[in-house]
Amino acid sequence: MKNIIYASIYLLLFGVLSSCTGDKTNPVTQAQPLSQTLIYQKPGLVDSIIGTCSTFLVRTFYLDTLDFSQFTAGKFEKSAFTDGDLSEIKIYYLNAGTAVTLFSLQGLNQINSAEATEFPSPGIKTTYFMQVKLYSSICTGNYFYIRLSDVKIFGLK
């Protein structure tokens, strides 16, 4: 009986060890992270808007001429907070007089999120603008806020 137990343990260990040192000719490949290049940075406070529930405030800023022609995507990082549920942060450019939105962050979850926002590259070098909107669907009698700071835009290859 002892021999059967030892033989079972031996076979079990042999099976485990042989599966760990098995065929390595087909390793799992991992996706390589995209390389990123900083193409715009505005440290510190970019905008801060305060208003009441009846306020619909929109401010538009000239960012810069940014070149996305070498990149397949872009990434937007920021520090932001709002308590206005219909607030928005948008980056856009003009094409033949029409605004083309690069991306838009809307509402509490997207604006207050610490996650970076990735967007497809427009593939052009042009002038870009940022729009910050404060708006809320409810009226509490208190002030509402939107604050944007430490903006970074990266090009991703």
**17 occurs within a structural domain:** no
Using alpha carbons, select from 51, 55, 132, 129 the residue that is nearest to residue 88.
Answer: 132
**43 occurs within a structural domain:** yes
**2 occurs within a structural domain:** no
**136 occurs within a structural domain:** yes
Backbone angles phi, psi at 102, to 5 degrees: -75, -45
pLDDT (tens digit, 9 = 90+) per residue, 120-129?
999 999 999 9
pLDDT of residue 140: 79
The CATH number for 56's domain is: 2.60.120.260
pLDDT (tens digit, 9 = 90+) per residue, 63-110?
999 999 999 999 999 999 999 999 999 999 999 999 999 999 999 999
Query: How many independent structural domains does the chain possess?
Result: 1
CA distances from 151 to 7, 24, 41, 55, 80 (A): 65, 45, 6, 25, 9
pLDDT (tens digit, 9 = 90+) per residue, 53-71?
767 899 999 999 999 999 9
**137 occurs within a structural domain:** yes
**138 occurs within a structural domain:** yes
- Lookup result for tokens 């937007």: 76
pLDDT of residue 4: 53
Question: Domain residues for 51?
Answer: 36-156
- Lookup result for tokens 């604050």: 147
Residue with the bigger pLDDT between 13 and 115: it is: 115
| CA dist., res. 27 & res. 19, Å (int) | 14
**77 occurs within a structural domain:** yes
**76 occurs within a structural domain:** yes
pLDDT of residue 30: 53
pTM (2 d.p.): 0.74
Collapsing DSSP states into helix, strand and coil, what is residue 88?
strand
pLDDT of residue 52: 83
